[in-house]
Amino acid sequence: MAKKLVIKVTAGADAPERCSQAFTVAAVAVASGVEVSLWLTGESSWFALPGRAAEFELPHAAPLPDLIDSILAAGRITLCTQCAARRGITEKDVLEGVRIAGAQVFVQEALADGTQALVY
């Protein structure tokens, strides 16, 4: 098993099952002791904002705010630079602990030794 996991989630409320799967896998990996970096891109970008995850609903799925809290407790969440800019989101707008970074950082993380990358 890879010691590091980089997950890019492109789906948000537009594809709730895919979105929930990405956050669930990230949270389970963190709880299992895996180093996790979750990237918010596309429609998932909105979940970098306070209160937005609470609006997300999917029957029989863990609440998104709880998953985000568990990921931030021991992992990293990054909002894509271009995705943030297209939505008018700045660093002062995002949840505490969420950073904004670009493709170069994603590629660097995804290609690091011992890393598995997943895209949802």
Q: E strands, the chain, where?
A: 4-9, 35-40, 76-80, 98-101, 115-119
Q: Which domain holds residue 39?
A: 4-119
> Can you give the pLDDT at residue 1?
55
Q: What CATH number corresponds to the domain at position 102?
A: 3.40.1260.10
Mean pLDDT of the chain: 97
Q: What is the pTM for the complete model shown?
A: 0.95
> Can you give the pLDDT at residue 32?
95
pLDDT tier at 2, thresholds 50, 70, 90: low
Residue 29, CA distances (Å) to 24, 48, 66, 81 in order: 8, 20, 14, 25
> Total domain count for the chain?
1
Residue 109, CA distances (Å) to 8, 13, 32, 84 in order: 11, 26, 20, 19
